[in-house]
Structure 1
Amino acid sequence: MPEGTRFAGGPSESPGFLLWRVTSAWQRAMASALTPLGLTHVQFVLLACAWWLGRSGETPNQVRVAAQAGADVKMASEVLGRLEAKGLVTRAADPADSRAKTVLVTPEGAALAKRAVGVVEDADARFFATVDAPALVTVLRGLAGVE
């Protein structure tokens, strides 16, 4: 057994290390797919979450968008500010909570979100083409604690 690890085969048998490697490779694939659209991956996720919530008839605030994305609220606020500067969302005082801001996706943001979802889903399909995706989704949902 290699010194400093419980895994006889070293890091290649460590689930955490392998997840790190897969996550890094997947993030590179997402960045490559989204760069032509002028979006970072986190910008895409927050824009898509705001768009999805808005399509369901909800006018989400930044806290709700961050929760949907599983993101830190402060970071989400900063990124939503960059999306607002690009004209993809607008933010206004939340009438239900004066400390919060609502997030509305602009028509340009909605068009980009729809296009970006397709781009990301295609990139995911390529990245996960060699694995049993439904089985992987089951494992990931369990690890993420989502139903």
Structure 2
Amino acid sequence: MTLVYADGSTARSPVAWPALTEDQVAEGGTRVTITGLADRAAQPVTATVWVRHTDAVEITNIAEERLTTRPGRPPTLPATVVATYNDGSKDSRTEVTWDPVDPDQYAGPGSFEVEGTVPGTSHRATATITVMPPT
């Protein structure tokens, strides 16, 4: 998972998740919330596992990303986004390729948007970047 700190910096951290049982994933159209421990986080983290009826689904929406950075520091855009499918399920492992970001956009405080391409759909990913004032 990606941890985001108050100053806008980020770090990757492995997470220890409990094993799911067959009973938890036996019925399509359901979801299971699990709690894990990230190596670099003081608080537990949660995830939702969606159980689909079928893999014949299509993306209907891509969740907006909201990120922060400091002036002069390029934003760390995620490699994946959360996609919602026509059966109501979600997948946080949906790959995205972000459009290039002009350094002028994060040179000083303010906010701007970056779009990205998600393979297999015409829906575009969007990230809103807030450039925080120096502290």
TM-score by shorter chain over 0.5: no
Higher percent of residues as strand: 2
What range describes the TM-score normalised by the shorter chain of this pair? Answer: under 0.3
